[in-house]
A = this chain, B = another copy of it.
Amino acid sequence: MQRQVWRLVRRPQGDIRDGDLEYGTESLPPLADGEFLVEVIYLSLDPTNRIWMSDMEQYMPPVAIGAPMRGGIAGRVTQSRKAGVAVGDIYAGLGEWASHIVTDGTMLQQMPAIPGVSLAAAFGTFGVVGPTAYFGLLDIGQPKPGETLVVSAAAGGVGQIVGQIGKLKGCRVIGIAGGADKCRWITDELGFDAAIDYKAEDVGAALDRLAPDGIDINFEQVGGAIMDAVLKRMKLFGRVALCGMIAQYNLADGAADPVPGYWTMMLMRRLTVRGFIVTDFAPRFPEAMMALGQWMASSQVKTRQDIRQGLDKAGEHVKLLYSGGNFGKLLVEVSAP
């Protein structure tokens, strides 16, 4: 049995470059007892992929040089030597950038079919981005009716959901995204109150115009200059959910944090800043799935996937995340759903 797989062969310095990842074909050993084979349907590409490639301080061990690249996957069982796992079952969880994976089921969960929701939407939402948006906004952001919420990377996988939950909670929601299409989509389709196109306008000036009284909640996903502009405009008792800093992951290892310290401001304005990783909330994932499932079923939360074809192009597709090239949750279709 042969598979295609991406391996990390060199840690990126700055942007991911050709040659950091290597695509190839290899043989898989026969299944051992207790194992099963999953044919990957979707590979999830996420900002955190870049973190896993580096040996910076992070929340799980980096991918070892020479090892298969780690990634979220959804796929179909095609062989099984594990009791209770049947050919045809759909499993999703943490896997590899590969056409097939051999697993004993650790890090994977069976995925029930949800009527009316495609596998791409279900995997794209429930896997990582939905719980990230749900817990980051509700637990850390603690939105109250009438408050002003700013979310960056607003048309991305997490941002689109954050803004819609914010609206459900009665907030005034301002999304920051790149390009007129994305800005139109989050306001016209998703119901955000306003959008700032960071490629076309000065974010600070736009925030001054759209949120003259300041910002209660910042759902931070990008870092860098955009984060800086938002932080400076936080209101008394504001909350900052530090979810990601995609503009900073590609800094060469050891580079200084580009956003300065605002310690005195945090004190004077009594801000709460809290970093989190979605897995911190793992025991409560069912709560997020229940809520999101209901909101999606009633169309109160809409989701958009950006599905790209071909595992062999995954090394190119992943770069979209750092250039703002994706529009919706980025997935690679590895085999037909």
For chain A, give the interface size range: 20 to 34
A274 with B271: CB separation less than 8 A: yes
- Which residue of chain B is the closest to A265 with respect to CB atoms? B57
Contact of A260 with B by CB under 8 A = yes
Q: A261-B260, A261-B261 are in contact. Are A266 and B273 (CB under 8 A)?
A: yes
By secondary structure, the A interface counts as: loop
Residues of chain A from 225 to 264 with CB closer than 8 A to chain B in the complex: 227, 242-245, 248, 256-264
* Interface 9-mer from A22-30, A107-115, A275-283, A309-317: A275-283
A257 with B268: CB separation less than 8 A: no
Q: In the complex, what's the smallest C-beta–C-beta distance from A265 to chain B, in angstroms?
A: 7
Q: In the complex, what's the smallest C-beta–C-beta distance from A84 to chain B, in angstroms?
A: 34
Contact of A58 with B by CB under 8 A = yes
- Which residue of chain B is the closest to A267 with respect to CB atoms? B275
The complex places the Cα of A277 from the Cα of B269 at a distance, in Å, of: 9
Q: A273-B273, A273-B274 are in contact. Are A242 and B266 (CB under 8 A)?
A: yes
Chain B residues with CB under 8 A of A242: 263, 266-267
Q: Which 6 A-B pairs have the closest CB atoms?
A: A267-B275, A266-B275, A272-B274, A257-B261, A261-B261, A259-B261
